[in-house]
Amino acid sequence: MLIVQFVTPQIILSESHTMILLETWTTPFGLVPFDQIEDADFAPAMDMALDIALGGIAKIADDPQAPTFENTIDAQEEAEALLEQVASVFYTLAGSDSTPVREKLQREFAPKLSAYASAVASNAKLFARIEALWNSRKALKLTKEQERVLMLTRRSFVRAGALLVGVQASRMADIKSQLASLGTNFTQNLLADERTWFMALGPDDLVGLPDFVLQVAQAAGLEKGAKGPVVTLSRSLIVPFLEFSDRRDLREVAYKAWAARGANNGETDNRAIASETLALRHERASLLGFASFADFKLDTEMAKTPKRVRDLLMQVWIPAKARADADAEVLNEIMLNEGGIGPLQPWDWRYYAQKRRQSEHDLDEAELKPYLQLDQIIAASFDCANRLFGLEFKQVDVPLYHSDARAWEVTRNGKHLALFIGDYFARSSKRSGAWCSALQSQRKKPTQRFPIVINVCNFAKPSGAAPALLSFDDAHTLFHEFGHALHQILSDVDYSAVSGTSVARDFVELPSQLYEHWLEVPEVLQKFATHAKTGTVIPPKLLKRMLEASTFDMGFKTVEYVASALVDLDFHEGEAPVDPMKRQAEVLSKIGMPPAIGMRHATPHFAHVFAGDGYSSAYYSYMWSEVMDADAFAAFEEAGDAFDPERAEALYEHILSKGGSEDAELLYLRFRGRMPDAKALLKNRSL
Nearest CA among 215, 205, 212 for reference residue 249: 205
Nearest CA among 396, 410, 397 for reference residue 450: 410
Strands 452-459 and 435-440: antiparallel
Cβ pair 601, 608 in contact under 8 A = yes
- How far apart, in whole angstroms, are the C-alpha atoms of residue 208 and residue 218? 15
Cβ pair 287, 161 in contact under 8 A = yes
- How far apart, in whole angstroms, are the C-alpha atoms of residue 364 and residue 563? 29
- How far apart, in whole angstroms, are the C-alpha atoms of residue 243 and residue 254? 12
Cβ pair 468, 453 in contact under 8 A = no
Q: What DSSP character marks residue 339?
A: T
Cβ pair 90, 105 in contact under 8 A = yes
- How far apart, in whole angstroms, are the C-alpha atoms of residue 146 and residue 144? 5
**What are the angstrom distances between the C-alpha of 444 and each of 95, 332, 663?**
29, 59, 20
**What are the angstrom distances between the C-alpha of 139 and each of 60, 74, 158?**
21, 18, 23
Q: What DSSP character marks residue 539?
A: P
- How far apart, in whole angstroms, are the C-alpha atoms of residue 45 and residue 38? 11
- How far apart, in whole angstroms, are the C-alpha atoms of residue 419 and residue 614? 25
How far is CA 171 from its chain centroid?
30
151 Cβ neighbours under 8 A, 6+ residues apart: 134
Cβ pair 456, 488 in contact under 8 A = no
Nearest CA among 482, 374, 401 for reference residue 93: 401
Torsion of CA 603, 606, 611, 616, to 10 degrees: -90
- How far apart, in whole angstroms, are the C-alpha atoms of residue 546 and residue 240? 17
Q: Is the peptide bond before 343 cis (omega within 30 degrees of 0)?
A: yes
- How far apart, in whole angstroms, are the C-alpha atoms of residue 425 and residue 594? 33
Q: Which residues are registered as beta bridge partners of 537? A: 530
337 Cβ neighbours under 8 A, 6+ residues apart: none
Burial 244-255 (b: 16+ CB within 10 A, else e): bbebeebbeebb
Nearest CA among 595, 596, 601 for reference residue 563: 601
**What's the one-letter identity of residue 682?**
L
Cβ pair 260, 191 in contact under 8 A = no
**What's the one-letter identity of residue 644?**
D
**Per-position DSSP letters for 186-242, written without gaps between them:** HHHHHHHHHHH-EEE--GGG-TT--HHHHHHHHHHHHHHT-SS-EEES-HHHHHHHH
- How far apart, in whole angstroms, are the C-alpha atoms of residue 546 and residue 286? 50
295 Cβ neighbours under 8 A, 6+ residues apart: 285, 305, 306
H-assigned helices in 33-80: 42-61, 75-79
Catalytic (active site) residue 646: no
614 Cβ neighbours under 8 A, 6+ residues apart: 505, 608
Nearest CA among 642, 382, 377 for reference residue 529: 377
Among residues 481, 509, 516, 626, which one is catalytic? 481
- Which positions are catalytic? 481
